[in-house]
Amino acid sequence: MADLTAPLYDASGAAKGDVTLDADTFGIEPNIPVMHQVVNAQLAGARRGTHNTKTRAERRGGGRKPWRQKGLGRARHGSIRSPMWRGGGVAHGPKPRDYSQRTPKKMKRLALRGALSARASESAIKVVDAFDWDAPKTKQATSLLSAMGVEGKALVVLGGGDEAAAKSFANLPEVIVANPGHVTTYDVLWASTVVFTNETLGLAGGSGAYEASDEDFVKETDEGAEA
């Protein structure tokens, strides 16, 4: 099988050749059911789960029977807080719950590698040699994406020393900036193009020191903090 490659650019968008991609990360057959399950788990984990409706027991009033059982020709009722009454309780309505799902680490890694392989098969993986930008400028980020032929949504994976580049991409509405330890399957599938640096390319797909964990799937509490 021919080597998998991706185009390599410098920080201004000039082509510098190709870079070889790891076949174990970018050359596997995507497992669609696993990818579907992992993405569902990520989206479910991001739900707050604070929706709440009151049952008939939680509504005020309704302690007295509205009218006697017989003799009036009306339907019998025992409380004005019945779900059949306006202002009454809600039957089988939503209650606060935890939507998070447990997803094995092997499934997360397999799904992420499958998503990266799918993008690689579409020639949607691009690599920047290194970002040597001295100061953050959105115009630089826009020019770079345009020079590389990136259109639509993009995921930019940056290393720890790329603060200027991260701030440059931050104002672009169709760009997500992530570090290698927090790239998820959903991010890769959301983006039309995935942009790596030479540094972060080797850490893609969990092949580096990073191990995917339950923290990848954020669960917010009522106070808005991560749990």
pTM above 0.85, yes or no: no
What pLDDT, on a 0 to 100 scale, did the predictor assign at position 219?
A: 46
| DSSP H helices in the chain | 23-26, 32-45, 105-121, 138-148, 163-170, 185-190, 198-201
pLDDT digits (tens, 9 = 90+) for 11-42: 888 999 999 999 999 999 999 999 999 999 99
All structural domains of the chain, each given as residue ranges with its CATH number in brackets, are 5-48+100-216 (3.40.1370.10), 53-93 (no CATH)
Is residue 211 very low, low, confident or very high in pLDDT (cuts 50, 70, 90)?
Answer: very low
Range from 54-68, 87-101, 210-224 carrying the lowest mean pLDDT: 210-224
What pLDDT, on a 0 to 100 scale, did the predictor assign at position 44?
A: 93
Q: What percent of the chain has pLDDT over 70?
A: 89
**Integer Cα distance of 6 and 15 in angstroms:** 11
Helices and strands in the chain, H and E counts: 7, 6
Expressed in percent and rounded to 5, the helix, strand and coil fractions of the chain are 30, 15, 55
pLDDT digits (tens, 9 = 90+) for 101-157: 999 999 999 999 999 999 999 999 999 998 888 899 999 999 999 999 999 999 999
